C-alpha cells in the first residue's frame, strides 16, 4: 500500500492523477471499440473457416490466450519503460492482429485467423493494463474509484462496437472483403487511434512518476530478480494477492466460456447478425456501465465483499442462460447482462486488491502475472466451451460453468480472511 504523501506533494500528484485518468478514459473508449467490435462475429468467422462448430470458439479463445501471454510481456516492457510505451506497443500489436483477421477471411485460412486473434489479444492486454495505470498515483481512499472510472470508459467503445457489426458488414461489401471480416478492419483503426492518444498524451508517465516519488528511480534496483520471482515473492508476502488473482481468473473464465458461445446459440435459433450484436452490446453494457458504482462500493465497503457479490450475480446469470431457448429470448439477454455485471463486480474489486497490495518494485510483475493467470484460465475455459456445446448443448455449458462462479465466491471469502483490515 502507498505511503501518504505530504499535503503539498499530494496536491501535485492529484493534478497529474486527474490528467492521467482523463487520458486513459479516452484511450479506453477508442481502444475498446477496436477490441469488442469483432466479438459478435469471431465465432461465426471461425466456424466458416474451420467448417466445425466444435472449433468455433477457438478464435475468441486464441484472443484471450494471446491477451494473457502478451499481458505478461507488456508488464515487462512497462517495468523498464513505463506505462506509455507498454500501452502503445499493445495497441499497435492489436491493430496488426485485426489486419491479419481480415486477411484470413480473404484467403480462407483458419490458421491465419488464429494468429491474428492472438495479436488482437494485445489490444485487450493494453486495455487491461490501463486500469492498473489509473492506480499508480491514486491514494488508498480512491484507488478503486480511479480504476473503475477507466474500466467504465470502455463502455463507450465496447457498447458501440458490437452495434457496428451490421454497418461493418456493409463496409466489408463496399471494399470487397468478406462480410464477417468487416468488424476486424474497423477494429484495427480503433486500436491505431488508441495508440496515438497514448503516445501523444500520456505524459508524464504515471508509473515512472510514482517511482520517482518513492525514490525508486534506479531501474536496476526495480528489476532485481526475474519477473516471475518478484511476483511470487509478493504473493507469499501478501496472501490476499493470491485470492484476488484467483477470484479474478475464475470470474473472467466464467464470463468468457458462456459469452463466446452465445452468438452460436442464438444463430441456431435463427437470430440475425444485428440481433446477436444487440445482445452482446447489452452484455458489454453490464460489464462496464456500472463500474464507477462498483468502485465506490469497493472503496466504502471493502474489496472482498464486492468480489463475493460478483460471484453470486454470476450464479444467477448462468441459471438464466441455462434456461434460455435457442435464438433471441429475454432469458439469454438478461443472463448475458447479469454475466457482465457479475464480471464487473469481480474485476473492479479484485483488480483493486492486486493494485493495492502489490509492492511498487514488483507492481507491473504482479499485475502482469494476474492478467496472465486470468487469461490462461479463461482461454482454457473458452476452448472447452466449444466442446461442451457440441456434445451437450449451450444450457449444459451454463450449468457446468456454475462451478467457476461458486469458486469466485469462495475466493472472496478467503480474501476477506486474509485481508489485513479483516485481522
Domain count, the chain: 1
Please tell me the distance from the alpha carbon of residue 117 to that of residue 63, in angstroms, as a whole number: 5
- List helix spans (H) across 5-133: 7-36, 39-50, 58-81, 83-107, 110-133
Q: Is residue 397 part of a domain?
A: yes
pTM: 0.80
For residue 8, what is its C-alpha cell? 503539498
Q: Is residue 52 part of a domain?
A: yes
Please tell me the distance from the alpha carbon of residue 114 to that of residue 98, in angstroms, as a whole number: 11
Q: Is residue 214 part of a domain?
A: no
For residue 223, what is its C-alpha cell? 528489476
pLDDT (0 to 100) of residue 9 = 56
Q: Is residue 14 part of a domain?
A: yes
User: What are the per-10-residue average pLDDT scores of the chain (423 residues)?
Assistant: 51 81 89 71 79 73 84 89 94 92 89 89 88 86 86 76 72 82 85 93 91 62 66 90 96 92 86 81 86 91 95 97 91 95 96 90 88 87 86 93 96 88 44
Evaluate the CA torsion angle 14, 16, 19, 21 in order and state its sign: negative
Q: Is residue 104 part of a domain?
A: yes
**What is the domain-level CATH number for residue 377?**
1.20.1250.20
Strand runs labelled E in 136-230: none
Q: Is residue 402 part of a domain?
A: yes
Q: Is residue 1 part of a domain?
A: no
Q: Is residue 311 part of a domain?
A: yes
Please tell me the distance from the alpha carbon of residue 350 to that of residue 333, in angstroms, as a whole number: 26
Please tell me the distance from the alpha carbon of residue 21 to that of residue 43, in angstroms, as a whole number: 34
Domain containing residue 344: 7-208+223-422
pLDDT (0 to 100) of residue 39 = 64
Distances in Å between the Cα of 84 and the Cα atoms of 81, 152, 206, 241, 273 are: 8, 20, 9, 25, 37
pLDDT (0 to 100) of residue 54 = 66
Amino acid at each position: 500500500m502507498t505511503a501518504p504523501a505530504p499535503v503539498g506533494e499530494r496536491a501535485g500528484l492529484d493534478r497529474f492523477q486527474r490528467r492521467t485518468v482523463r487520458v486513459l478514459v479516452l484511450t479506453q473508449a477508442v481502444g475498446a471499440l477496436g477490441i469488442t467490435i469483432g466479438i459478435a462475429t469471431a465465432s461465426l468467422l471461425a466456424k466458416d473457416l474451420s467448417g466445425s462448430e466444435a472449433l468455433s470458439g477457438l478464435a475468441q479463445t486464441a484472443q484471450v490466450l494471446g491477451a494473457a501471454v502478451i499481458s505478461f510481456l507488456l508488464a515487462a516492457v512497462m517495468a523498464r519503460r513505463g506505462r506509455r510505451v507498454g500501452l502503445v506497443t499493445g495497441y499497435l500489436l492489436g491493430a496488426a492482429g485485426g489486419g491479419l483477421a481480415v486477411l484470413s477471411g480473404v484467403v480462407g485460412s483458419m490458421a491465419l485467423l488464429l494468429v491474428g486473434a492472438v495479436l488482437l489479444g494485445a489490444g485487450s492486454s493494453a486495455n487491461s493494463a490501463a486500469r492498473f495505470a489509473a492506480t499508480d498515483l491514486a491514494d488508498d481512499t480512491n484507488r478503486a474509484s480511479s480504476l473503475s472510472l477507466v474500466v467504465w470508459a470502455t463502455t463507450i467503445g465496447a457498447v458501440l462496437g458490437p452495434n457496428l457489426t451490421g454497418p461493418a458488414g456493409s463496409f466489408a461489401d463496399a471494399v470487397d472483403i468478406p462480410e464477417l471480416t468487416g468488424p476486424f478492419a474497423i477494429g484495427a483503426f480503433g486500436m491505431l487511434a488508441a495508440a496515438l492518444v497514448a503516445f501523444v498524451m500520456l505524459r508524464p508517465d504515471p508509473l515512472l512518476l510514482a517511482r520517482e516519488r518513492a525514490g525508486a528511480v534506479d531501474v536496476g534496483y526495480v528489476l532485481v530478480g526475474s519477473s516471475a520471482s518478484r511476483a511470487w515473492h509478493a504473493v507469499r508476502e501478501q496472501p490476499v494477492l493470491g485470492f484476488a488473482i484467483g477470484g479474478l481468473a475464475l470470474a473472467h473464465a466464467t464470463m468468457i466460456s458462456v459469452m463466446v458461445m452465445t452468438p452460436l446459440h442464438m444463430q441456431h435459433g435463427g437470430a440475425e447478425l444485428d440481433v446477436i450484436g444487440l445482445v452482446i452490446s447489452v452484455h458489454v453494457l453490464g460489464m462496464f456501465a456500472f463500474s464507477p458504482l462498483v468502485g465506490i462500493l469497493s472503496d466504502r465497503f471493502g474489496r472482498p465483499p464486492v468480489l463475493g457479490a460478483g460471484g453470486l450475480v454470476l450464479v444467477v446469470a448462468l441459471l438464466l442462460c441455462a434456461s434460455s431457448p435457442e435464438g433471441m429470448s429475454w432469458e439469454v439477454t438478461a443472463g448475458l447482462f447479469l454475466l457482465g455485471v457479475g464480471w464487473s463486480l469481480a474485476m473492479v474489486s479484485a483488480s483493486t486488491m492486486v493494485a493495492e497490495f502489490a509492492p511498487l518494485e514488483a507492481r507491473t510483475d504482479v499485475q502482469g502475472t494476474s492478467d496472465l493467470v486470468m487469461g490462461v484460465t479463461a482461454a482454457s475455459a473458452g476452448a472447452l466451451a466449444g466442446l461442451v456445446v457440441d456434445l451437450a448443448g449451450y444450457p449444459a455449458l451454463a450449468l457446468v460453468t456454475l462451478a467457476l462462479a461458486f469458486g469466485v465466491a469462495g475466493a472472496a471469502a478467503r480474501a476477506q480472511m486474509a485481508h489485513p483490515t479483516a485481522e
